[in-house]
Amino acid sequence: MEVLRPQLVRIGGRIYRKNPIQEQTYQHEEEDEDFYQGFVECAEEPCDAYEVVQTQQGFRCTVKAPSLLYKHIVGKRGDTRKKLEVETKTSISIPKPGQEGEIVITGQHRSGVISARTRIDVLLLTFRRKQPFTHFLAFFLNEVEVQERFLKFQEEVLEKCSMDHGVDSTIFQNPKKLHLTIGMLVLLSEQEIQQTCEMLQQCKEEFIDDISGGKPLEVEMAGIEYMNDDPGMVDVLYAKVHMKDGSNRLQELVDRVLERFQASGLIVKEWNSVKLHATVMNTLFRKDPNAEGRYNLYTADGKYIFKERESFDGRNILKLFENFCFGTLKLNSIHISQRFTVDSFGNYASCGQVDFS
């Protein structure tokens, strides 16, 4: 990272510079990772983004965080917390591992409490981004008609294109898990799941009802396309999803949901718009039927895993099935789906949903 071009981190509507980090790996202490951000500068002082309460002893501020992230504030042997306390002249109380609660910062000076809070927020944000995705917002596309048409598509592709390089039955999606993803989530506690449910309900009240008219959105799942730029070396083939009436309402709805969740911090901003697609073939399935696209390529501490993929030649499939129709659907619910789970119908388990009608 260049000193003159440090990474910027947005927290609570304010922008901070994040200095280069120094990480050490201990062979026998991987779980108790020590990590300290160093000095984090605020664009202006004083900072009014935090609620700091004056007490008889000085000043006090609390931070809500899932217990899974406490260890990153404590650090190995408590070193991170000690360094924070010394440099900001504060005292930081952290709940015991496994116990939900609040991190409490106290100090004689308001500026020190604010500085400690800022640094803790950067630590929490950094390590939250290193967590694997746990949930995702999605429409289910697994109506019976669509599943039957998908199986017909698979049968015909294998019948007509099985001689093409890399094409076999292992790379097809499970028809019971057909879905349209709006955004990926990291939810580390029941409270965060509840917060996501409440956010979805707010979206419904503020704009989903207006866009949908209080009725299911009638869509067509038809036509296929590939993700990369070489049809002869394809890793992901997907079906396109669009409104039957030709309107842009589905795109508008999902983009506004994405924007709202990005603004809240529940979804990290990667894209400005949702790509409306339903994956039907993915080469990651070849070795792992439970793989979930590119979101399955990171370890729990956020390190990238290289998975060798054998691409397939999709040219004949694209030519023969360019306009294949998988059927029509009525989208009536956005689900908070949990990754790597299966419900009684073979679909992803849903932790919550909002219905249009």
Is residue 189 domain-shared with residue 103, that is, in the same domain? no
Is residue 174 domain-shared with residue 320, that is, in the same domain? yes
The span from the CA of 234 to the CA of 79, in Å, is 48
On whether the CB atoms of residues 291 and 126 are closer than 8 A, the answer is: no
Q: Place 23 in a pLDDT band, splitting at 50, 70 and 90.
A: very low
Compute the chain's Rg from CA coordinates: 24
pLDDT tens sequence across 232-258: 999 999 999 999 999 999 999 999 999
On whether the CB atoms of residues 152 and 327 are closer than 8 A, the answer is: no
* Per-residue tokens: 41: 């500068």
Q: Of 129, 151, 184, which residue sits at a domain end?
A: 129
31 part of a folded domain: no
* Per-residue tokens: 147: 């599943």
**DSSP collapsed to 3 states, 229-275:** CCCCCECEEEEEEEECCCCCHHHHHHHHHHHHHHHHCCCCCCCCCCC
Question: Which of 18-27, 68-77, 222-231, 328-337 bottoms out in mean pLDDT, i.e. has the lowest?
Answer: 18-27
- CATH number of the domain to which 254 belongs: 3.90.1140.10
* Mean predicted confidence (pLDDT) in 202-218: 97
The span from the CA of 81 to the CA of 71, in Å, is 10
On whether the CB atoms of residues 179 and 292 are closer than 8 A, the answer is: no
Q: Of 96, 129, 162, which residue sits at a domain end?
A: 129
14 part of a folded domain: no
112 part of a folded domain: yes
Q: Place 26 in a pLDDT band, splitting at 50, 70 and 90.
A: very low
Structural domain boundaries enclosing 83: 46-129
Is residue 220 domain-shared with residue 271, that is, in the same domain? yes
Is residue 125 domain-shared with residue 273, that is, in the same domain? no
Q: Which of the pair, 216 or 290, is modelled with greater confidence?
A: 216
pLDDT tens sequence across 306-355: 557 899 999 999 999 999 999 999 999 999 999 999 999 999 999 999 99
pLDDT tens sequence across 41-53: 443 344 567 899 9
Is residue 89 domain-shared with residue 178, that is, in the same domain? no
Q: What is the tally of structural domains in the chain?
A: 2
Is residue 187 domain-shared with residue 309, that is, in the same domain? yes
Write down the pLDDT at residue 100.
Answer: 86
Q: Of 129, 162, 180, which residue sits at a domain end?
A: 129
26 part of a folded domain: no
Sign of CA dihedral 98, 99, 101, 104: negative
17 part of a folded domain: no
Give the single-character DSSP code of 206.
I
User: What value does the mean pLDDT of the chain take?
Assistant: 87
Write down the pLDDT at residue 20.
Answer: 52
Write down the pLDDT at residue 1.
Answer: 45
Is residue 207 domain-shared with residue 289, that is, in the same domain? yes
18 part of a folded domain: no
- Picking from 356, 195, 324, the residue whose alpha carbon sits closest to that of residue 265 is 195
The verdict on pTM exceeding 0.85 is: no
256 part of a folded domain: yes
Is residue 155 domain-shared with residue 139, that is, in the same domain? yes
* Mean predicted confidence (pLDDT) in 184-196: 94
pLDDT tens sequence across 61-102: 999 999 999 999 999 999 999 999 999 999 999 998 888 899
* Mean predicted confidence (pLDDT) in 190-214: 97
37 part of a folded domain: no
Is residue 161 domain-shared with residue 261, that is, in the same domain? yes
Is residue 240 domain-shared with residue 105, that is, in the same domain? no
Is residue 51 domain-shared with residue 123, that is, in the same domain? yes
pLDDT tops 60 at residue 58: yes
pLDDT tops 50 at residue 147: yes
Going across the sheet that includes 179-185, the strands are: 179-185, 135-140, 333-338, 350-355
In order, the DSSP letters of 263-329 are HHTSS----SS---EEEEEEGGGGT-TT--GGGGSB-TT--B-------B--HHHHHHSTT-EEEEE
Is residue 53 domain-shared with residue 202, that is, in the same domain? no
